């Protein structure tokens, strides 16, 4: 009994000791550089709400320069459970119909003249580059007044793409560490969104591009769930049947 009491006391005291130690672990780590290379998109293509928001983000902020030339508006509407009427009023670009492919109205020659590069079609970008890469790309623009776009990017240095989301995110500077390597970001002017809101905005946009890269995956995953359920049910029946057959054999 004495042993038990001692053990119980130790167990009770353990959380106290741990919580007493906690403030030390949570002390400001001034020296830890931001490891943006390890950021993950953390998106989920089964989240239809997120895909719908991502589609809206794309139509508001990306289609001015980028196309999704292998995807028709109507296919997107069907996959993302967006009624045709809403599709036509809110998402289909002016001059297009729900039966058209999603193409930018910017002529390639103009784009090449303005940016020095034609903005790539983004249909397959999530597959060629990965959702995590696009997430890092969209979140690591920083101010650089010496460049033609007045900004640069950590994931894609010297990119020709301007920081098109700075009204949402705000403008930030890249602060370098003692070894002249990137250390952390510093806000120069805030945007319309909080850091969490902007993070969600980017995650939804990346999620949408992930879906676009392989539109069948949304349907495939929901079918996959039914297949697994079916197999479980089948196993249960097979087991019951086996028991029935073997119950008289001793
Ligand atoms: C004002 C025009 C413009 C807008 C708007 C724009 N982009 Fe771009 N984007 C470009 C250009 C130009 C490039 C080519 C950059 C390069 O290769 O240097 C590019 C390249 C990219 C790339 C490829 C990067 C790589 O590694 O090759 C991705 C991904 C991308 N854009 C995503 C987006 C998303 C998502 C949006 C909407 C939130 C968006 N862009 C809005 C002009 C634009």
Gap from CA of 134 to ligand 1 centroid (Å): 10
pLDDT at 18 over 60: no
Residue count of the chain: 250
CA distance 65 to 141: 17
pLDDT at 220: 79
Higher pLDDT, 24 or 38: 38
Q: Is residue 64 lining ligand 1, measured as CB closer than 6 Å?
A: yes
Q: Is residue 207 lining ligand 1, measured as CB closer than 6 Å?
A: no
Region 99-108 average pLDDT? 93
pLDDT at 2 over 50: yes
Higher pLDDT, 225 or 92: 92
pTM of the model: 0.82
Closest ligand 1 atom number to CA of residue 106: 2
Average pLDDT, the chain: 89
Q: Is residue 201 lining ligand 1, measured as CB closer than 6 Å?
A: no
Q: What percent of the chain has pLDDT over 70?
A: 87
Quick: pLDDT tens for 166-177: 999 999 999 999
For residue 150, what are the contacts with CB-CB under 8 A and spacing of at least 6? 143, 144, 162, 163
Structural domains of the chain ordered from first start: 33-242 (1.10.760.10)
Region 201-220 average pLDDT? 93
């Amino acid at each position: 009994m004495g042993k038990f009491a001692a053990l119980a006391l130790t167990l009770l005291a353990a959380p106290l000791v741990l919580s007493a130690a906690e403030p030390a672990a949570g002390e400001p780590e001034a020296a830890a550089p931001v490891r943006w290379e390890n950021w993950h998109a953390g998106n989920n293509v089964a989240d239809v709400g997120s895909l719908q928001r991502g589609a809206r983000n794309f139509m508001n902020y990306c289609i001015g320069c980028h196309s999704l030339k292998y995807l028709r508006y109507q296919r997107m509407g069907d996959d993302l459970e967006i009624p045709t009427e809403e599709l036509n009023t809110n998402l289909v670009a002016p001059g297009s119909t729900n039966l058209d492919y999603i193409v930018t109205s910017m002529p390639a020659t103009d784009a090449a003249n303005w940016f020095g590069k034609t903005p790539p079609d983004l249909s397959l970008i999530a597959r060629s580059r990965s959702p995590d890469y696009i997430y890092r790309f969209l979140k690591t623009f920083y101010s650089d007044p010496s460049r033609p776009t007045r900004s640069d990017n950590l994931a894609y240095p010297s990119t020709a793409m301007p920081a098109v989301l700075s009204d949402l995110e705000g403008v930030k500077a890249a602060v370098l560490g003692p070894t002249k390597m990137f250390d952390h970001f510093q806000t120069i002017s805030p945007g319309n969104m909080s850091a969490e809101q902007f993070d969600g905005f980017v995650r939804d946009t990346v999620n949408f591009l992930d879906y676009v890269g392989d539109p069948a995956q949304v349907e495939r995953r929901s079918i996959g769930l039914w297949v697994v359920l079916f197999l479980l049910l089948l196993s249960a029946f097979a087991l019951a049947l086996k028991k029935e057959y073997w119950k008289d054999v001793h």
